[in-house]
Amino acid sequence: MDPNVLISAAISSLGAPRLLLEAWHAGGFRMLVSYDLLYELEAVLMRPWFRRKLTYSDVVEYVMWIRERSDFVPEAMGMAEISPDPDDNYLIALAFAPGADYLVTQDRRHLLDLADVVGPFRLVHPREFLVLLR
């Protein structure tokens, strides 16, 4: 899952991102993470705006919880720069890791527009992934 999905799940108890987090925690699917993904997740959640929702210790615990329960890919490699946002290229490389079937993202501007360009995985929105899980 893209960090934007995990961020949404952390700050809201409603919506598809939270339902996906709960489905993952219940064993509904495996999640792959990398250093880059965990770093982005923590860096964004540490921004002052998020203090209204989460304390610093909440953020550290959340990121550690995800790291400990996910399949860790030490270094996502092998993808050329194909995203209009170079900061998203690590997600595409991570999605090429063995066992990755989907990249779940809410980033319509940069990633979902690439849905017809990349593969063998599918780029899907959280609501679409919930339907696929059912």
Domains of the chain: 3-133 (3.40.50)
pLDDT tens digits, residue range 8-24? 999 999 999 999 999 99
Predicted confidence band at 106 (pLDDT cuts at 50, 70, 90)?
confident
Q: Long-range contacts made by residues 58-67, C-beta under 8 angstroms, separation at least 24?
A: 59/10, 62/10, 63/38, 66/6, 66/31, 66/33, 66/38, 66/41, 67/33, 67/38
pLDDT tens digits, residue range 28-83? 999 999 999 999 999 999 999 998 999 999 999 999 999 999 999 986 555 555 65
Count of beta carbons in the 10 Å neighbourhood of residue 75? 12
What's the predicted TM-score (pTM) here? 0.86
pLDDT at 112 over 60: no
